[in-house]
Amino acid sequence: MISRGIKNFCLFILMAFLCVGGVALADGNDPAEKALIVGTSADYPPFEFIKDEEIVGFDIDLANKIAEKLGYKLQTHDMKFSSIVSSLQTDRIDFGISCLTITPERAKNVAFSAKYFVPKFAMLYKKEEPVRSVKDLDRKTISAQVGTTMESFLQEELKTGKEFKLVSLDKNHIMVEDLKLGRINGVLVEESQAKAFVKKCPGLAYSEFGNATGYGYAIAFKKGSPLKAKFDKAIRSLKKSGELKRLEQKWLIG
């Protein structure tokens, strides 16, 4: 007969094994626990947009490549651009990727990854009504997306005494429709996006506009997120391997 002491010892070993097994599962072996929620505003081709009911684009490919390197699965949520920062702060998403430009103001509220792309500004307009430079802004109505550096750029131009009306909206495709209907005279976007809209809308044209060289796109995280260091390492790896450049070529933004 096995003594009570031996029985208790065996029971202790069994419980310890079960606990270790439980910890192992909780530590990430369960794929459901390895999913990250990414927020984006899917109205910014070719970076993020909806095609055949699926969110696609350069940013989405980049997010998926990073997730694959780090062993995560992604759940992509489409949302207003202006709600990405608040969604990070309230833990509704794990990170945001949506042509988010690094600015001192945003850096007060979120942590940014390393830059992955430096954009150029471009003004969309009707071919017969060009708005090629800041000199052409007077007496015009110009749109930009809420919360973007394009909006900030135009707000600064207003402070210099330029006489134009700024209409800020949440969705780029709505601004483009307003442009086509003649409700506004121009839409300030990023050059790659301008190319995509001109390809889709033959009556539109664009010109490089202003100076965006001081800006850069980065992935945003909640302050203190351990994901930042992991994503920075993955971005450096993608740059070094040439994969990031190949993504730029795929989406015609390089």
CATH code of the domain in which 58 resides: 3.40.190.10
| Mean pLDDT taken over the chain | 87
Asked whether residue 11 is assigned to any structural domain, the reply reads: no
Asked whether residue 185 is assigned to any structural domain, the reply reads: yes
pLDDT in tens, 165-188: 999 999 899 999 999 999 999 999
- Do 101 and 35 lie in a common domain? yes
- Do 158 and 49 lie in a common domain? no
Number of domains comprising the chain: 2
Distance CA 171, CA 148 (A): 11
Contact 40, 77 (CB under 8 A): yes
- Peptide linkage before 31 cis (omega within 30 of 0): no
Tell whether the torsion through CA atoms of 123, 129, 133 and 139 is positive or negative: negative
Residue 25: its pLDDT value, please?
29
Q: Is the pLDDT of residue 212 over 70?
A: no
Asked whether residue 38 is assigned to any structural domain, the reply reads: yes
Which of helix, strand or coil describes residue 165?
A: strand
Domain range enclosing 179 = 121-208
Asked whether residue 24 is assigned to any structural domain, the reply reads: no
Any bridge partners for residue 35, and if so which?
73
Q: Is the pLDDT of residue 231 over 50?
A: yes
- Do 108 and 229 lie in a common domain? yes
Residues 6+ apart with CB under 8 A from 205: 124, 125, 126, 127, 130, 198
Contact 207, 122 (CB under 8 A): yes
Q: Pick 191 or 142 by higher pLDDT.
A: 142
Asked whether residue 5 is assigned to any structural domain, the reply reads: no
pLDDT in tens, 191-207: 988 998 999 999 999 99
pLDDT in tens, 86-112: 999 999 999 999 999 898 889 999 999
pTM, two decimals, is 0.72
Residue 232: its pLDDT value, please?
98
